[in-house]
Structure 1
C-alpha cells in the first residue's frame, strides 16, 4: 500500500514540474504579448500624429490653391473699379461742360 502512495507522490511531483515549466513558458509569452501591445499602442499614437500632420498639410495646400483665386478676384475687382471710375469721371466731366 505504501508503494502505491509513493507512486502517486512521484506522479504528482512530475506533474508539478511539468506545470511549472508550462507556467514559465506562459509567463514568458505573457511578457512578449505585453511588449507587443506596447509596441502596437506606440504605433497607433504615431499614426494619429501622422494623420494630424497630414490634415495640417491638407489645410496648407487648400490655402495655397486659394491664393491665385484671391489674386484673380482682386485684379478683376480693381479693373472693374478703374472702368467704373473712368466712366463716372467721363460722365461727370461731360455733364459739367
Structure 2
C-alpha cells in the first residue's frame, strides 16, 4: 500500500484549480461602480466618437422575442436602435 499513500500525498500537494464565481446568482454579485464623467453618457459618446475613440454599433433589428424591459419608444445612440436611452446604456458604460 506504499504506492497508494505516495500517490495520495502527491495528489494532496498539487494546487487545487480555482472555481469561477460566475455561477453565483445575479443578486449576490457585486454591482460594478462607474466613475462620474461630469457629463451625460450621450454627450460623452458624441465627444469620443468625434475624436475616433469609440464607434457606435451597426444598427440591428430588435431582439425576438422582445424582452420585458425593452422599450420601443426609447432610442440608444450607441446601439443605434430602440430599447433604452443612451444615458442608461450599460454597454456604453462598460465601453467607456
Question: Scaled by the length of structure 1, what TM-score is found?
Answer: 0.23
Greater RCO structure (CA 8 Å; 6+ sep) = 2
Radius of gyration: which is bigger? 1
More strand by percentage: 2
More helix by percentage: 1
Question: Scaled by the length of structure 2, what TM-score is found?
Answer: 0.24
